[in-house]
Each structure stands twice: as C-alpha cells, then as structure tokens.
Amino acid sequence: MPRRALNLIPHAVLILAILLFALPIWIAIAGSTQDSAAIARGEVSLVPNLSGLGVYRDVLVNGSAGAGPVWRALLVSAGMALAIAFGKIALSLPSAYAVTFFRFPFRMAAFWLIFLTLMLPVEVRLIPTFQVMSSLDLINSFTGLTIPLIASATATLLFRQTFLAVPDELVEAARIDGAGPLRFLRDILIPVSGANIAALFVILFVYGWNQYLWPLLVATDPRLDTVVISIVKMIGVDTATEWNKVMATAVLALIPPVAVVLLMQRWFVKGLTEGDK
Amino acid sequence: MERRTLFPGRLLPALLILPQLVLTVVFFLWPAVQAIKSSLEREDAFGTSTEFVGLDNFTDLFADPLYRAAIGRTVVFCACVTAVSMGVALVLAVLADTEIRGRAFYRTMLIWPYAVAPAMAAVLWVLMFHPQIGLVGAWLNRMGIAWDYKLDGTQAMALVILAAAWKQISYNFIFFLAGLQAIPKTIIEAARIDGARGLRRFRTILLPLLMPTVYFLLVVDLVYAAFDTFATVYAVNGGGPGQSTQTLVLKVYLDGVVNANVGASSAQSVVLMAGVIVLCALQFRFLGRKAVT
Amino acid sequence: MAGLKLDGLRKSFGSNAILKGVDLALADGEMLVIVGASGCGKSTLLRIVAGLETPTAGRVLIDGRDVTDLDPSARDIAMVFQNYALYPHMSVFENMAYGLKIRGLPRAEIRAKVDAASALLGLEALLERKPRQLSGGQRQRVAMGRAIVRDPKLFLFDEPLSNLDAKLRVQMRGEIRRLQRRLKVTSLYVTHDQVEAMTLGDRLLVMHQGVPVQLATPAEVFERPADTYVAGFIGSPAMNLLPGRLGRNGTRVTVAGTDIDLGSRRFDRPDGFPVVLGIRPEHVVLDAAGTTWPVEVVELLGSEMLVHAGRPGEASLTLRIANGTPVGDTIQVAFPAAQLHIFDQATGLRMEAREPAYGSTRPATP
C-alpha cells in the first residue's frame, strides 16, 4: 500500500472511535426533541426536531414521571460537586503540607492512616457508614450527602506528590527571605501549585457530580435527589416513561461535568497523569 | 522520597492534619471496624439481640451457591470490562500518538466520556439498546434477533460490560497517551534506525516501556469494575434479570440495604475489603513504593 | 559590614561524615571561594552557614555573633542559588521585594531599594516580567538583585553560574566580581569550577572529602598546591603527576628511567624515597637534548595545542605548546627545575626543599 494511504488508517480508526463515543450522546440530544410516543414505538430519528426544544424548559421546571423538577436536582448536584471539590481541597492541602514539610511524631502513622482510606471505598463500608451517619442525625441532609465523601486519600496523595516536586531551593529562598510556614504556604506554595489545584478540582468535581450509591442510600428525601439519581428514577418508571424528557435530562446532567473537563482539559490531563503515579 | 528542607515545629502540622484525620477516623476507620465487628455477629429475627458467632457468617457466605455464583460473575465482569477498556484505549492511544495532524482534536473528542457518571453510562446505553425504543436494540429485533436485556441474562451482562468499559476507555486513553508521550523520542528514533517497524516496534520497544502504565491501569480498572460500576449495573437492571448481573457490590447493597441482613452484608463487605487490599498490594508490587514513599 | 568565622564545623548523616572539621575566618568584605569536586562537602558547609542545615558540632559566627541556632531569616544573610530559585508566580519586582515585605518595610522604602538594586543590575526594564519570560542571564541577575536589596551582612553563592552557557558564565563572573568589590559585602562562594574559583576569590578554600586541604590566595594555590589532590584539581589541563624516587642526596628525581635535576633545591630524605613529581603541561619544554617520549595524540586548542605522550602502562605526560610546533612520532622534552613540584608519594603532601626554591614565588597575602 502506498505510504500516503497507510497514513489515513489512524485517522479513519480515530474518527470511527469518536463517532462511536459520541453516538449515545447524539441519540440523547436528537431524541430529546422528539415526540415521546414516537420514541416509544422505536421510531427515534437521528435528526433533531428543533421545534421540540421546549422539552428542556419543561423538565427543568416540571421534571418528569418518577422525579421532581430538574432545576432542583441540578442545583443539588452542583452543590454536592462543589462542596466535595472545595472540601477535599481545603482538607487535603493542609494535611499534605503537614506531612511533606514538617517532621512531627506519628507523622508516618498519620500518613498511612490517610493512605488506608484508599482501600476503603464507600461500597465496602456502606452499612456501617450509614449507621454512623444516622447516629449523627445526618440522614437526609446536605451535610450527610457530602461530608463522608470529603475525607479521602486521593487528594492528599496528589498534593503530596505536587509538593514533593517543588524545588528545595524555592523553600530555602523563602526561608532566607523570612517567610514562616503559613506565609510560605499562602504566598508561594499555593500559587505555585495553582495548575495542580485546578486539575484536582476537575477530578473532584466530576467525582462529586457522578456520585450515585451514597446519595441513593443517605438521601431518601426527593428534594435531595441529585440529577443522576433523578434520571435513574425516570428510566425506572417502566410503564409511562417519558423518553424525550429522560433524554433531555440526560443531556442536562452531562453538560456540567463534560464542560468542566473540556474547558480545563490541559490542566486536568497534566494533573491526572503526573499526580497519580 | 523526602524533602531536604523542612519547617520546624510540631503543633502547626498537627493542627493542619487534624481535620483530615478526624473525618478519616469517623467515616472510614470506625465504619470499617464496625463492618468487621458485625461480620462476626448475628441478630435474632426480631433485631432485639445480637450474639457473637465467630466466622459463621463467612462459612455461610461461602457455602451459599448464590454467593459463589456472584464471585464467578464478578470475576468475568471485571476481566471483561478491564480487557475491553484497556485494549480499545491502547489502540486509540497508539494511533493518536503517531505523528498525525489533529492529535489535540482527537484527544479532546476522546476524553470527554471521563466526565460521564457510571449511572449515566447506563442510561445512555439503555437509550441505545432498549429493545423497543433504543436505536440499536429496536433494530436488532427488527433484524430477527431476539434482543431484550430485561429478559436475557447473557444480553444483560454484555450490555453492562459494554457500558462500564465504554466509560473507562477515556481514563485509560489519557494515561496510555501520557505514557507513550513520555517515552523519549530518541528511543523511538534509535529503534527506527535499528529497523524495528510497526507491530514489532510496538511489541519490543513501546509496550515494555509502557508496562508501568499498564500495571497501574490494570489495578485502577479492576477496582473501578469491582466497585464504581455499582451505579452502572444497578441502573440498567438492578442486578437482574434474576441474578444474572448481580456482582458482589450489588449483593452487599441488596442483602444489606434492601433485605436488611446486616451480618451477611458485613461479611461480604469484609470480603470486598480484603479484595481491595490485595489489589493495592499488587499495585505496590508493580509500581514499587514510588507512589507512597 | 562583618566577618564570618567557622569554628570546628562537623556534619554527619548517620555514620556518613560529610564535614570532618572546618575552621575558617573571613575578613570583612572578603570574597572566599570554596572549591572542590561534587560530594566534597562544600555545599553542606554553605548550607550550614545559611542555617538551612544544622551542624553536628561546631559554631557559626557572623560579625562576632553566634548564629548557630538561629533561623536563616534571623542571620541577616542573602543567598544566590544554582537554579536561581525565583518565585515563578511573582514578577521581578515582587521577587526582589518579597523579603523586604516580610520584614515589614514601608512601601516607599521597598520601592527605593528595589529600584536602586535593579539600576545596579540593569533590570529596570524587566521589573514587571515573570521569571519564565527572562533569559538565563537575566534570571541570574534577578537572583543577585534579590540578595542585594536586603543589604545583608553576608552573601552566600551556591554555584550560581553553573546553569549558564559558557559565554554568559564568563560575563556574569565578571559582573559578580565587580558587584562584590563595589558593595564590599563579605561573601562565601561555592563552585566546582576551578576557573571560576581562581578568577573570583580573594582566597580559595579547596575541599576534598569533607576536609579543607588548602586555604590560600588563588596564585598560591596554583603555584604551590598543598598536595597532589590540589595539584591535579586546579589548572587545566591538569598538572602532570609522575611517580619517581629521590636520589643523589635529595637533589635529583628519577622518573620512568630518566634522571631529573632539581636545581638548587635539596630534599632532606634518603635516596630512593618515593615521591611524585608534578609539572604543569605548559611548563614542560621541548629540548632536543631531553628525554624521548612517544607521542600518542595531538589536540589542537587554537593558538596552542596539547600533546599527549607516554609509554603504555607507564607514565603519561601532557604538554601545552604553541600551535604549529612540528611534532613527530616522538618528542624530546626537558623538565625545567624551577617549575617542578615535589610531593610525598605516601601522604600526597607537598615537600619543602631545604633551601628556598627560586621557582615558586609566594605572593603577599592580603
């Protein structure tokens, strides 16, 4: 085969992959604008019907069979994702700073304790964690939704990795300039780690937005339904599923995390691959 | 690895690390200890008293054919999800890494599914493969293939595997691409001059240099498939039809929350904990202690 | 202005002794260069003076005040790092001002000090730039500026030029020298580069494996190296070091079968005493009446050339001679008595002749 034609193969495969990746989303976008009954008959078209865009206003305000208005679910999701992302950063940054820049008794023990949480995903301690939450009277509260997910080792490890890569000379220069530990943290370390913090924010935002099992368990109050919970409830209604509304909600639920990942792509990819290893 | 330059003081670092430790103990360690404790206990039928039963919950668990079947099912599920997502991601990363135009565009278009929630992956695939309304599902039925994942366990399994793998391809792709781009260009050039081409170059040069990434992703993907896919599987069919897609994580939830059998569910939690610890230990072995120390 | 005194400094990491006892006194305004191969302990010494490292034993006195237990910021020192260690997110101005800001100086005073320092260094046009927008030489200047604005008692330089290319290094070397002379701040400068050491220092301290081996002016270190290590380390290409034996009542040395006259010098050792004869490549002369050496390689340097001669498995000899000198398969060389250095083979230490040698002049120490 001529060299030129051979060079087209990677493009062809990659374009095919992109189309396959995008197909489910496109189906949801196109389907959301069509008539629910037509979809239920299996007559979904891949061409969006622009006059059907009103469905988005409809689900936002009224929701769909099986779940409440989507605007509130989006708000809960956003609140949860932001609380988890900022909470984790606020908690992990100081603890990573402490284990990297200081020597204190039981430092390694504390570090291992935090590290251990990597081995305890919420799925393996589901019921006991639920019991702790109920004894703290945090069931069906926003606090209960977020707090147990805020403590985790991932962010601490990523920050530690970032901090270890800060050149010693920078710390020394700051010390000679007279900066104490808190001043160094505020004036030098946090600004210098800006890109990594941004990357971590993306990872944590997506993590928070995508939670399913924990909200399912701890928040039975429909007013605390996240958008992910809502949509699973919608498709679970077996008889009168309003398919166009399900699809519209799916699109709405995907926009924020996908937007965050794509907008912050550069930092996110760098932070993810440099930090995790 | 340690830093050369440190700050003096003990109180300040203790204060800085305290909040994280408190949450860790309250929401991670304490529940984990509780799980171990209640896995050794049994409640009577009315929930009024509990007694210590030693390893009885575990022997019961492993004697239960349903549980043993769930183990086998989980192994198959995890292996398939990992193999499919890593295989596809590797091929795409190798293609995207070659010196072709539009690399940045391809990368952007391939990483967005990272942002899709496991539950959303299920929803999107249901919308495609629903036997009546799904574009693909309805088409299969029109072609005379009896497709209904709500009735056919094997089809349900295939669907959850595909949905779970699809979502993870992006993550693997990001790491494979970064791993490939970290290989010094001079090594590739040396291999070219040595005459290694195409598949041979991939097999003898790129793949060995990529092995750390492969091991890393292997563990991450197994953990993902074992735990994070709860939402995917649960949203597709709730573990059904029958028990055909009931993986171990689903069983912990169904037995513990839905059927309120705390002892059995806790024993299952402890078994899963042991599983994660083994996976983490494997990762340690493969990657050295680099990630931690 | 102030002096620096080091008193019996030792540093060990576990059983690994990095510094094995260093005593040192710097006069007010003096520039002392610590030179040695990597791992000789020179950087550790500097870091102890800076307060970034705690000595295992010994004291550091700045201006007569014991600062051994003080924090770096309390020592009134400034340091220039090898990789500059500029704060990447701050502008040039902010980099220089940061230390003053922490000390709580009024804005106007900070502005004035930074302006003065940047005028001195030619940085006026760059004050709003970020470090990544600067060239290597400019970053180096900012690092200097950050040290200067503080008006410290002591400057510490940790290999500040080793990240620069050769041309810039020569230029910055001169600049550092001029600045230091002008500001008259006592300075400790660490480098592995012997040319840098020779050109910059009022005095040199040569370190080897945690021990100071010679403390003297550059000229004296070059002309009267204290031992074979210094002899081989200072000077490029390195001094020829040929093992031999004393003879004829300590007036001659036999090297590789050749008898070499030591001129008027006489060493008070028995005949056959093992020594090392040192001679710099530029001091070996071509002499038709001299001994014959086979030529191995000739390297052209430009106006000069290096001739590597020697007998395989035996002594080897390097000569630096004018370019264009005809060189055949062999050369005949002589070793002028006045340029010879004699070291004790067993200890490596320089041996002194009974009568003062006329070849090595001892310059006045400042």
C232 is a domain residue = no
Angle of helix B118-129 versus helix A243-263 axis, rounded to 10: 140
What count of other Cβ atoms lies within 10 Å of the Cβ of residue B144? 7
Given the DSSP bridges, would you call strands C31-35 and C186-191 parallel, antiparallel or unpaired? parallel
pLDDT for A219: 85
Mean pLDDT, all residues of chain A: 85
Closest-CA distance, A38 to chain C, in angstroms, reads 58
What count of other Cβ atoms lies within 10 Å of the Cβ of residue C239? 23
Q: How many CB pairs under 8 A join A and C?
A: 58
How much is the pTM?
0.83
Closest-CA distance, B271 to chain A, in angstroms, reads 9
C39 is a domain residue = yes
Give the integer Cα–Cα distance in Å for C170 and C172: 6
C360 is a domain residue = no
Interface of A with C in 164-183 (CB under 8 A): 167, 169-170, 172-179, 183
Given the DSSP bridges, would you call strands C154-158 and C77-80 parallel, antiparallel or unpaired? parallel
pLDDT for C354: 67
pLDDT in tens, A158-179: 888 889 888 889 999 999 998 8
Q: Are residues C159 and C30 in the same domain?
A: yes
Nearest CB partner across the interface for C103, out of A167, A178, A188: A178
C231 is a domain residue = no
Q: Are residues C176 and C294 in the same domain?
A: no
- Containing domain of residue C144, as a range? 4-225
* CB contact B174 to A (< 8 Å): yes
Q: Are residues C220 and C249 in the same domain?
A: no
Give the integer Cα–Cα distance in Å for B239 and B232: 10
Using a CB-CB distance cutoff of 8 angstroms, which residues of chain A are in contact with residue B17? 94-95, 98-99, 110
Hey, what are B22's tokens? 């408190």
Q: Where are the alpha helices (DSSP H) in chain B?
A: 11-24, 30-39, 56-63, 65-97, 103-111, 118-129, 135-142, 153-182, 185-193, 198-201, 207-223, 230-237, 248-253, 262-287
pLDDT in tens, A210-264: 999 889 888 888 888 899 999 888 887 666 778 888 889 999 999 999 999 988 8
Using a CB-CB distance cutoff of 8 angstroms, which residues of chain C are in contact with residue A191? 89
Q: Are residues C276 and C147 in the same domain?
A: no
Give the integer Cα–Cα distance in Å for B145 and C56: 81
Q: Is the separation of the CB atoms in B249 and B276 below 8 Å?
A: no
pLDDT for C1: 45
Q: Are residues C43 and C89 in the same domain?
A: yes
pLDDT digit string (tens) for chain C, length 366 residues: 468 999 999 999 888 888 998 999 999 999 999 999 988 899 999 999 999 888 999 999 998 899 999 988 888 899 999 888 999 999 999 999 999 999 899 999 999 999 999 998 989 999 999 999 999 889 999 999 999 998 899 999 999 998 888 888 898 899 899 989 888 999 999 999 989 999 999 999 999 999 999 999 999 999 999 999 999 999 888 999 999 999 888 888 988 778 888 888 888 888 889 999 999 999 999 988 888 889 999 999 889 999 999 876 677 899 999 988 888 888 999 999 889 999 999 999 999 876 544 444 444 444
Q: What residue in C sits closest to A191 (Cα-Cα)?
A: C89
pLDDT for C360: 44
pLDDT for B286: 67
- Last residue in a domain, options C199, C225, C251: C225
Q: Do A17 and B227 touch (CB under 8 A)?
A: no
Q: Are residues C187 and C332 in the same domain?
A: no
Q: Are residues C210 and C62 in the same domain?
A: yes
Nearest CB partner across the interface for B21, out of A28, A110, A276: A110
Q: Are residues C109 and C36 in the same domain?
A: yes
Q: Are residues C35 and C89 in the same domain?
A: yes
C358 is a domain residue = no
| Cis geometry, peptide bond prior to residue C212 (ω within 30 degrees of 0) | no
> Phi and psi dihedrals of A219, rounded to 5?
-125, 95
Q: Do A172 and C85 touch (CB under 8 A)?
A: yes
Hey, what are A241's tokens? 């599923």
Give the integer Cα–Cα distance in Å for B16 and A85: 18
CATH number of the domain where residue C312 is located: 2.40.50.140
Q: Are residues C213 and C260 in the same domain?
A: no
pLDDT for B2: 67
Total domains in the fold of chain C: 2
C364 is a domain residue = no
Per-residue pLDDT band for A94 (boundaries 50, 70, 90) equals very high
CATH number of the domain where residue C213 is located: 3.40.50.300
Q: What is the ipTM of this complex?
A: 0.86
* CB contact B23 to A (< 8 Å): yes
C354 is a domain residue = no
pLDDT for B150: 83
pLDDT for A5: 59
Q: Are residues C15 and C38 in the same domain?
A: yes
pLDDT for B290: 46
Q: Which residues of chain B have pLDDT under 70?
A: 1-2, 45-47, 99-100, 286-293
C350 is a domain residue = no
Q: Are residues C180 and C256 in the same domain?
A: no
